[in-house]
Homo-oligomer: A and B are copies of this chain.
Amino acid sequence: MSLKSHAQGSPFPPTKPGVLRIYSMRFCPFAQRTRLVLAHKNIPCEVVNVDLVKKPDWFLALNPLGQVPVLQIDDKIIPESTATCDWLDDVYPENRLQPVDPYLKVWDRVLHEYISKLIGPLYGAMRATDASEIEMKAAEIKKHLQFYEEKLKGRGDGPFFGGSKPSGFDFLMWPFYERLPALTILKDNPVLEIEADKIPTLTAWDKAMRQLPAVKNTMFNALSHVNWYKSVGKGTPDYDMYLAEH
């Protein structure tokens, strides 16, 4: 199955009984969460990439909100990144992501509930045009990285939020962390640079995450992200960028 994106007019690729499918977009951090879990659990899955500007009618019929990721298997449809990750963990228990201990499990949920405080200013900085606004967003990003630094430190045996193995939250947070260096380059503003010495535990986490096959399998480097966001900024997102090489 081709990874080229399906735009309006593109025929619906027929589903096969019992075969899991993800509707994705190669640069979407939310869809990446689901692809990380799929890769980490070695779950066979068809990928159907969607042009999010010119959405095919069959995609909108499937998910009227028009967002990725969406999972589909037989008559089941599951949208929303967090929901897809939880469902995959329930249905494919290999390489379990949700801690069994209810207190550790609930803290994964708490850490996720706060993630919008990091994602918000990340995209806010990307959209920002004046320096003072960028500075404000950078301060928010750093404040919340500090929050996660402390929480990760408190988890003890590291390097992951899940301890010696990644838990669900590691994969929910990663795609946004992966994009932070691209943000600095894109805005060409050193105020956005992450000071590794102030977040040593997260920096060690970053290194450990990059060694995971699931991360290697789904990530782009900072410059590729920059080029992607530039194409978005011009109003002509190139959904098939790097497809030959990647």
Measured CB to CB, the residues of A under 8 A from B are: 65, 76, 78-80, 82-84, 86-87, 90-91, 102-103, 105-107, 109-110, 113-114
Contact residues in B for A109 (Cβ distance below 8 Å): 80, 82-83, 86-87
B113 touches A87 (CB 8 A): no
Contact among B76, B82, B106, B114 for A90, CB-based, below 8 A? B106
A113 touches B82 (CB 8 A): yes
Minimum C-beta distance from A28 to chain B (A): 16
Can you sample 22 A-B contacts with CB below 8 Å? A76-B103, A78-B103, A78-B106, A78-B110, A80-B109, A80-B110, A80-B113, A82-B109, A83-B106, A83-B107, A83-B109, A83-B110, A84-B106, A86-B105, A86-B109, A87-B102, A87-B103, A87-B105, A87-B106, A87-B109, A90-B102, A91-B102
CA distance A106 to B71 in the complex (A): 12
Contact residues in B for A110 (Cβ distance below 8 Å): 78-80, 83
CA distance A109 to B103 in the complex (A): 19
Contact residues in B for A79 (Cβ distance below 8 Å): 110
Indicate the member of A79, A105, A106 with the most B CB atoms within 10 Å.
A106
CA distance A102 to B109 in the complex (A): 18
- Using CB atoms, name the residue of chain B closest to A116: B116
Contact residues in B for A113 (Cβ distance below 8 Å): 80, 82-83
Contact residues in B for A90 (Cβ distance below 8 Å): 102, 105-106
CA distance A113 to B84 in the complex (A): 12
Contact among B65, B86, B102 for A106, CB-based, below 8 A? B86
CA distance A102 to B102 in the complex (A): 18
CA distance A76 to B103 in the complex (A): 8
Contact residues in B for A84 (Cβ distance below 8 Å): 106
Minimum C-beta distance from A21 to chain B (A): 16
Contact residues in B for A83 (Cβ distance below 8 Å): 106-107, 109-110, 113
CA distance A79 to B103 in the complex (A): 12
